Amino acid sequence: MPASQPTIEEFERKINDENLGFYQKIEIERFSEFAKIIGLETGVDIDEIYEIIKKDKVLVEIGAGYGRAIQALLKKGFKERVYAVERVNHLVNYMRHLFVEQENVKLILKDVKYLKLPEKADTILWVWSGILELSLKEQEEALLQLKEQLKPHGKIIIETPYQDVKFIGKKSTDNYIRFETDWGKIEAYLSTFQDIKLMSEKVCFNKLEKKLYKTNKDLTRVFYILS
Ligand SMILES: C[S@@+](CC[C@H](N)C(=O)[O-])C[C@H]1O[C@@H](n2cnc3c(N)ncnc32)[C@H](O)[C@@H]1O
């Protein structure tokens, strides 16, 4: 059954700062196990969209975590500049070691909500559900700010679960996904196509494409490409 429109209270909620502790305490091994569980560890998401981004000169990944997606990009042969934006110290330190020899990978320790990039981007990637860790209002505000940091023909590529979650967390009827571990919890809002469409119109993108794909665990997930 399609979810109804959120109430004003639901729309106004903020969740992103409450999710910080989960990633401050997560061990890299556990983090990558989660990627394995949903079948993203080898970077099938990046394989899937590589054609669209391979000629870009400036790429940005929001919430780069332990560098999974950036590694996948480098494996594909991407040689231009990639900014990895992440707000958690230990994750940025981990990536600093991982990408020590990659001059084209630039790390930015920053919260996306207050991000100001050093240059305009061709594409901003927000993969593996990153955007969901913000409430709908926070998502909209972040998209508005990110759009201003794109080149005129730039795009934002968002990747999320498709309609429901299977292996990690549980979705309730209000479209919130809740996931608890012994070191912390995550609350996330699974934006629907309609949510993304509305936000993309408000933020003045001209085009929104939706593309389904399957992960290594046969899980259907979706890309939204805003341009
Ligand atoms: C599910 S992980 C995805 C990791 C990575 N994008 C990948 O695909 O492997 C979400 C990441 O977003 C980061 N994150 C969440 N909120 C953020 C914010 N406001 N600013 C920057 N990063 C954020 C988290 O710390 C976490 O590393």
Exposed, middle or buried, 182 (CB in 10 Å: 0-12/13-18/19+)? Answer: exposed
Q: Could you tell me the distance, in angstroms and rounded to a whole number, from the CA of residue 68 to the centre of ligand 1? A: 11
Q: Could you tell me the distance, in angstroms and rounded to a whole number, from the CA of residue 186 to the centre of ligand 1? A: 12
The pLDDT assigned to 4 comes to 61
Look at residue 39 and give its three-state secondary structure.
coil
Q: Ligand 1: list residues with CB < 6 Å.
A: 16, 23, 63-65, 68-69, 85-88, 91, 111-113, 127-130, 133
Looking at ligand 1, which residue's alpha carbon is closest to its atom 9?
68
Q: What is the pLDDT of residues 50-78, one digit of tens each?
A: 999 999 999 999 999 999 999 999 999 99
Looking at ligand 1, which residue's alpha carbon is closest to its atom 8?
128
Looking at ligand 1, which residue's alpha carbon is closest to its atom 22?
63
The pLDDT assigned to 1 comes to 43
Confidence of residue 13 (pLDDT cuts 50, 70, 90): confident
CATH fold, domain 8-226, is: Rossmann fold (3.40.50)
Q: What is the pLDDT of residues 97-107, one digit of tens each?
A: 999 999 999 99
The pLDDT assigned to 167 comes to 78
For the chain, what's the residue count? 227
Is pLDDT of 16 > 80?
A: yes
Confidence of residue 9 (pLDDT cuts 50, 70, 90): confident
What percentage of the chain has pLDDT greater than the value 90? 88
The pLDDT assigned to 3 comes to 52
Confidence of residue 210 (pLDDT cuts 50, 70, 90): very high
The pLDDT assigned to 5 comes to 67
Query: Averaged over 185-201, what is the pLDDT?
Result: 95
Strands 121-126 vs 150-161: parallel, antiparallel or unpaired: parallel
Spatial CB neighbours of 123, under 8 Å, sequence gap ≥ 6 = 52, 53, 56, 59, 60, 154, 155, 156, 157
Domain layout of the chain by residue ranges: 8-226
Angstrom CA distances, 139 to 4, 158, 189, 190, stand at 18, 11, 9, 11
User: 134-158 in b/e burial notation, b at 16+ Cβ within 10 A?
Assistant: bbbbbbbbbbeebbebbeeebbbbb
Identify residue 15 by its one-letter amino acid code: I
